[in-house]
Each structure stands twice: as structure tokens, then as C-alpha cells.
Amino acid sequence: MSEETTAGTTLIFITEDGTEFLPAIISLQRTPIAPDIAGNLVQDLLETIEPIEANDIYHWLFGRIDRKVGIPDVKINMIFPATEVHIRKYSRQRLIMVTETPELYKSIVQPYIAAFPRSRFEWVYNILSHKVESHKILYEDPSPDTGFIILPDMKWDLKTVATLYLLAIAHAPSIATLRDLKRHHIPMLRSIRREVSRVVHEKWGINGAQSLRFYIHYQPSYYHFHVHVVNCNFIGFKGIAAGQAYILEDIISLLELSPPDGPTLLEKITLTYQLGEHHGLYRPMLQAQAALEE
């Protein structure tokens, strides 16, 4: 389907399991290989698979390429069964940059977000309710309005500090995107920055927020507010690119500059970002661009 050479990731699409049609998207990701064994690895044979975790339709496994090596060599991320939305999202697609005015947000984007069924985010609620992955929670503020959970992103192997990747997921379902953030959310955002910095220093020896990149996607992959946190020295993830990632500290600053009463600057500013041609907003936003250029 597609590949990310900088991250060592390849996506493949499987349409049949031998008995019935059940589409699945599988991501194969190479984990870092120790230099002393790199030359001895057999890279063309996957011998065993070890399940790691499952959450709703998302599954994570480790694959061993050579049993003699004795370490998991391939990280496998699987979506099964994959929906048509997943298939479109992970397929190679043309990207465009679109401009979203506050008016376009209200007329096109906000209704699009509101139409998403809760079932699309079931895996998020499974985490927030401790149904799955509770053993991986690094910190939790249980407040339903300003609380959040910090845990490793499943794309991280939990070992390589250089590629550290965490998520901070807000408890409040009312915050779908950065457009929904208000001034009273500033303490929550600051707390995310503070607690993540503390956790990574205590567990992995990373020194403070200056060594971390905090960012928010727009448009996000799922419409429940979350903050991405990665080691700032690692640039292998395409999600940190301009046109998709908005720096947390800049978002906090815009909220601080917003008036105490009335719309925030995040509600009033025009945002420019990338969209893939398979995204549900692609066609309506592309059509709307012509009017903006007149």
C-alpha cells in the first residue's frame, strides 16, 4: 500500500484469510538492530509471531526473523478487520494544502466531525476507562473536565529512547480538536507538558521539556483531543511535518493571548494544513478553496 523509508515501515493490504473476505491493514516496522548482530540477521524470513496487545480492531505483535538471535526484530501493527475508512487512510494518496477559515470550519469541518459515531473512537474510550492498556499508563489526572492519561504510543518499541513516542489523551470528550480549546484548558495543557517531562526524566533519563517535541495534529487521526510527544532528536515520523503538527507551546500562547470572554484566537484564526485525497474533508475543502482565491 505504502511505505515510510525514514521510519522503516511498510504497509500491506490483505483481503482474504482463506475462509471469508475480511480486509486487514498490516504495518511492518523494523526495530533498531544491535550492530554486533546486524550482519547475522536473516531478513527475509519471519519465523514466529508474539502478540503484544489488542484494543478493539487494533492489534500489535512482535515478529522474530531468526530464532537464533532471540530478539523481536519486526514490530507488527495490524488493523483487523479494516474498514473502508482505514483502507483509504493508509493507501498512497495525493496531498494538497487547504486553507480553513473560521467560516469553513463552521460550515464544513465542524459538521463532519459531529457526524462521526462513537464507535470509531471505541479504542480511545477503552484506554480512558482502563479496559485495556491500563498497565502501560504512566500518569493519570482523573478529572473528567481537565484530566488526561499519559501512555506510550503503540508505534514505539518501549526500549529505544531515541525514538520515544508518548500520547497524552484528554478525558473530556467535548474537546475534539485544537479548535475546541478554551482559556480554561491552559492549566491542563501546562500540566501535560510538566507531567510528561517529569515521567520521561524519571523513567528514561531524558532531561526536561527541552528534549521533547509536544505537538497536536490538525486534522487529527481521531477526533478526541490528544497531544503527541516524541524525542525532539528523532525526525523519522512524517506526523511532525509542518501542515499537520502544531506545537503545544504555541497553542498555549494563543490561548493566553485570547480575550477572557468571547471566542479564542484558535476559533478566530485561519489554519492551513494538508489533506490526503482519501480524507473525508478532501472534496468539500478543495471545492471551497476556489472561493477563497477570488
pLDDT of 256 reads 98
Overall CATH class of domain 2-83: alpha beta
C-alpha cell at 37: 548482530
Here the contacts of 151-160 (C-beta below 8 Å, separation 24 or greater) are: 151/127, 153/228, 154/53, 154/58, 154/60, 154/77, 155/29, 155/75, 155/77, 155/237, 157/31, 157/32, 157/75, 159/31, 160/31, 160/32
Q: What is the dihedral of CA 228, 233, 238, 241, to 10 degrees?
A: 80
Give dist(CA 189, CA 184) in Å, integer: 10
For the chain, give every domain's residue range.
2-83, 93-293
Ligand-binding site membership of 130 (annotated): no
C-alpha cell at 221: 487521526
Overall CATH class of domain 93-293: alpha beta
Ligand-binding site membership of 21 (annotated): no
Ligand-binding site membership of 153 (annotated): yes
Per the annotation, the verdict on 226 as an active-site residue is yes
Could you list the pLDDT tens digit for every one of the 294 residues in the chain?
665 544 566 677 777 666 667 787 777 776 665 555 444 443 445 677 788 888 888 887 777 766 655 555 677 788 888 877 778 777 888 999 999 999 999 999 999 999 988 888 899 999 999 999 899 999 999 999 999 999 999 888 888 898 999 999 999 999 999 999 999 999 999 999 999 999 999 999 998 889 999 999 999 999 999 999 999 988 877 789 899 999 999 999 999 999 999 999 999 999 999 999 999 999 999 999 988 876
Ligand-binding site membership of 222 (annotated): yes
| Contact yes or no for 176/223 (Cβ under 8 A) | yes
**Does the CA dihedral 104-256-213-203 come out positive or negative?**
negative
Q: Is the peptide bond before 284 cis (omega within 30 degrees of 0)?
A: no
Ligand-binding site membership of 225 (annotated): yes
pLDDT of 48 reads 74
Ligand-binding site membership of 217 (annotated): yes
Instruction: Report the phi/psi class of residue 37: left, alpha or beta, with left for phi > 0 and alpha for psi in -120 to 50.
Output: alpha
Ligand-binding site membership of 279 (annotated): no
Give dist(CA 228, CA 150) in Å, integer: 10
Ligand-binding site membership of 13 (annotated): no
Ligand-binding site membership of 220 (annotated): yes
C-alpha cell at 77: 501493527
Q: Which one of the listed residues 171, 226, 278, 279 is annotated catalytic? A: 226
Q: What is the DSSP code string of the chain? A: -EEETTTTEEEEEE---SSS---EEEEEEEPP--HHHHTT--TT---EEEEEEEETTEEEEEEES-TTT-S--EEEEEESSPPHHHHHHHS---EEEEEE-HHHIIIIIHHHHHTS-GGGGHHHHHHHTTSSSGGG--EEE--TTT-EEEEE-TTS-SS-GGG-EEEEEES-TT--SGGG--GGGHHHHHHHHHHHHHHHHHHH---SGGGEEEEEESS-SSSS-EEEEEETT----GGGSTTTEEEHHHHHHHHHHS-SSS--HHHHS-EEEEEETTSTTHHHHHHHHHHHH-
Ligand-binding site membership of 226 (annotated): yes
